[in-house]
């Protein structure tokens, strides 16, 4: 009797488990169906352009609010917070849904820990494009995050920032009365940029200084010339590359023709305070100096795959000795060119260790005219040395002190002329 009861009990338990399992599968497939249905509905509703005017969160319908069953991260948490804001925030009537969305994307990119992966709203995207074209309004300084501190990578040549005394390596402690440690680099740029004629107050700590200093800078229209050419003693050409932009190759090519026409004996290539720019322009300029088939830079992608970029063989300046100047404000493309010339041509580098921005960013346009700048690869010099965080070490270290700067002395350039003069006399 006990055996029969036990068997019946096991049968009932098994049936109950099967019903529970069936119900779970039913719920799962129902959830999948609802996800597909909401995706299709959201897709059809999401074809309209994004609204750029303020969008109150209380009257906002969310487009493409879907869950991905294959992901381990539960995005329901995000929508839960969104709904809590919508229902409970004391100023919910004035909350702007578009700003909340942009802020979420900014936060996601900030959480990568990579200061060079950033989000640009439509206005910032337009400003960035103008900046790369060399014409914008602001103070004229490239900013970055170094050791988690907002840092001046370089003030642009003849910019309001440079004229006011801002220097490469300066730590920006406050923008107006806002502490910079509490904001992202994009917020810092937005606070510092402004209309021509307006002022911005920065609290900065100069390299080597013990106390911070307040600097008031009057914003202006920034027009940056890519390449400057002068001639020094003994037919020495002095070329300063301020950036690697659309017009840089053309300007450098014209400088190359003048150098050859003047029968120049040697070149000083000054890339101090050059924050970088377009990689292809760097390769083009290297091709005017180095023979064909020389490695300019090696890119390493997120799978560890390496790809070398080579010169195309114009090498007009290959027979001339070149001395290179760099400092803390030399970053990105300028570090690549310095490393390429040293590794391939044994050009001497004089000055101070460069900034160490050895990564590749891809600018990706988004449907509402906003964009994201994503780090997609790391750079190495032709000899295989990583640039990121390490920078380029000079062969001859010469510091430019605060006293030198204040008294218009340039011991780095003086040393470059001395070294090149010795080379020409050998």
pLDDT at 338 exceeding the cut of 80? yes
Q: Are residues 234 and 216 in the same domain?
A: no
Residue 356 counted as domain residue: yes
CATH number, domain with residue 398: 3.90.226.10
Q: Are residues 214 and 234 in the same domain?
A: no
Mean pLDDT of all residues in 47-64:
54
CA gyration radius for the chain? Answer: 29
Q: Could you read off the pLDDT of 92-123 as tens digits, one per residue? A: 999 999 999 999 999 999 899 888 898 999 98
pLDDT at 135 exceeding the cut of 70? no
pLDDT at 10: 46
Q: Are residues 262 and 395 in the same domain?
A: yes
The Cα–Cα gap between 355 and 364 comes to 25
pLDDT at 64: 58
Worst-scoring range by mean pLDDT, 281-285, 318-322, 348-352, 407-411?
407-411
Residue 125 counted as domain residue: no
Q: Could you read off the pLDDT of 216-227 as tens digits, one per residue? A: 999 998 877 889
Tokens of 233: 């003693």
Q: Are residues 379 and 362 in the same domain?
A: yes
Place 188 in a pLDDT band, splitting at 50, 70 and 90.
confident
Q: Are residues 267 and 192 in the same domain?
A: no
Q: Are residues 326 and 381 in the same domain?
A: yes
Residue 114 counted as domain residue: no
pLDDT at 41: 40
Residue 117 counted as domain residue: no
Residue 9 vs residue 296, higher pLDDT: 296
Q: Are residues 308 and 254 in the same domain?
A: yes
Q: Are residues 211 and 234 in the same domain?
A: no
Number of domains in the chain: 3
Q: Are residues 200 and 232 in the same domain?
A: no
Residue 362 vs residue 417, higher pLDDT: 417
Place 380 in a pLDDT band, splitting at 50, 70 and 90.
very high
Residue 122 counted as domain residue: no
Residue 130 counted as domain residue: no
Q: Which domain holds residue 150?
A: 135-223
pTM score, whole prediction: 0.67
Q: Are residues 214 and 235 in the same domain?
A: no
Contacts for 332 with CB less than 8 Å, ≥ 6 apart:
244, 275, 276, 277, 355, 357, 358
Q: Are residues 216 and 310 in the same domain?
A: no
HEC-encoded secondary structure of the chain: CHHHHHHHHHHHHHHHHHHHHHHHHHHHHHHHHHHHHHHHHHHHHCCCCCCCCCCEHHHCCCCCCCCCCCCCCCCHHHHHHHHHHHHHCCCHHHCEHHHHHHHHHHHHHHCCCCCCCEEECHHHHHHHHHHHHCEEEECCEEEEEECCEEEEEEECCCCHHHHCCCCCCCEEEEECCEEHHHCCHHHHHHHHCCCCCCEEEEEEECCCCCCCEEEEEECEEEECCCEEEEEEHHHEEEEEECCECCCHHHHHHHHHHHHHHCCCCEEEEECCCCCCECHHHHHHHHHHHCCCCCEEEEEEECCCCEEEEECCCCCCCCCCCEEEEECCCCCCHHHHHHHHHHHHHCCEEEECCCCCCCEEEEEEECCCCCEEEEEEEEEECCCCCECCCCCCCCCEECCCCHHHHHCCCCHHHHHHHHHHHHHHHC
Q: Could you read off the pLDDT of 33-45 as tens digits, one per residue? A: 433 333 334 434 4
pLDDT at 65: 56
Of the chain, the percentage scoring pLDDT greater than 70 comes to: 82
Residues that are catalytic: 332, 357, 361
Q: Are residues 102 and 177 in the same domain?
A: no
Worst-scoring range by mean pLDDT, 87-96, 153-162, 249-258, 274-283?
153-162
| Domain final residue pick, 188, 207, 223 | 223
Mean pLDDT of all residues in 335-353:
94
The Cα–Cα gap between 36 and 41 comes to 8
CATH number, domain with residue 209: 2.30.42.10
Place 183 in a pLDDT band, splitting at 50, 70 and 90.
confident
Centre a 10 Å sphere on the Cβ of residue 228 and count the other Cβ atoms it contains: 15
pLDDT at 251 exceeding the cut of 70? yes
* Chain position carrying tokens 């700003």: 99
| Domain final residue pick, 199, 223, 247 | 223
Residue 285 counted as domain residue: yes
The Cα–Cα gap between 400 and 392 comes to 17
Residue 113 counted as domain residue: no
| Domain final residue pick, 162, 189, 223 | 223
């Amino acid at each position: 009797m006990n055996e029969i009861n036990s068997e019946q009990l096991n049968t009932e338990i098994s049936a109950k488990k099967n019903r529970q399992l069936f119900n779970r599968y039913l719920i799962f497939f129902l959830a999948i169906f609802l996800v597909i249905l909401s995706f299709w509905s959201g897709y059809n509703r999401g074809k309209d352009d994004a609204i750029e005017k303020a969008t109150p969160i209380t009257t906002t319908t969310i487009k493409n609010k879907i869950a991905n069953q294959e992901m381990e991260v539960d995005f329901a948490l995000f929508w839960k917070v969104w709904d809590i804001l919508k229902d409970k925030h004391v100023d919910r009537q004035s909350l702007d849904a578009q700003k909340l969305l942009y802020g979420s994307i900014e936060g996601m990119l900030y959480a990568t820990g990579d200061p060079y992966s950033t989000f640009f709203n439509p206005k910032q995207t337009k400003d960035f494009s103008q900046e790369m074209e060399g014409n914008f309004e602001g103070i004229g300084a490239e900013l970055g995050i170094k050791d988690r501190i907002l840092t001046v990578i370089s003030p642009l040549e003849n910019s309001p920032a440079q004229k006011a005394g801002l220097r490469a390596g300066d730590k920006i402690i406050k923008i107006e009365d806002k502490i910079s440690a509490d904001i992202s680099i994009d917020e810092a740029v937005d606070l510092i940029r402004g209309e021509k004629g307006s002022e911005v107050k920065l609290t900065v700590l100069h390299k080597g200084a013990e106390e911070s200093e307040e600097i008031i800078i009057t914003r202006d229209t920034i027009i940056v010339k890519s390449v400057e050419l002068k001639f020094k003693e003994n037919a020495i050409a002095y070329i300063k590359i301020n950036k690697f932009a659309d017009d840089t190759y053309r300007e450098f090519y014209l400088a190359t023709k003048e150098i050859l026409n003047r029968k120049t004996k040697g070149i000083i290539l000054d890339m101090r305070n050059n924050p970088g720019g377009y990689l292809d322009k760097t390769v083009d300029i290297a091709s005017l100096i180095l023979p064909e088939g020389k490695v300019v830079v090696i890119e390493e992608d997120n799978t560890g795959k390496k790809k070398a970029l080579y010169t195309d063989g114009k090498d007009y300046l290959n027979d001339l000795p070149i001395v290179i100047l760099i400092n803390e404000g030399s970053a990105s493309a300028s570090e690549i060119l310095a490393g390429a010339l040293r590794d391939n041509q044994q050009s001497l580098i004089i000055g101070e260790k460069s900034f160490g921005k050895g990564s590749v960013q891809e600018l990706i346009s988004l449907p509402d005219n906003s964009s994201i700048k994503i780090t997609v690869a790391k750079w190495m010099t032709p000899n295989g040395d990583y640039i990121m965080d390490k920078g380029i070490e000079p062969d001859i270290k010469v510091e430019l002190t605060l006293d030198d700067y204040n008294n218009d002395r340039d011991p780095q350039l003086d040393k470059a002329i001395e070294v090149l003069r010795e080379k020409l006399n050998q």
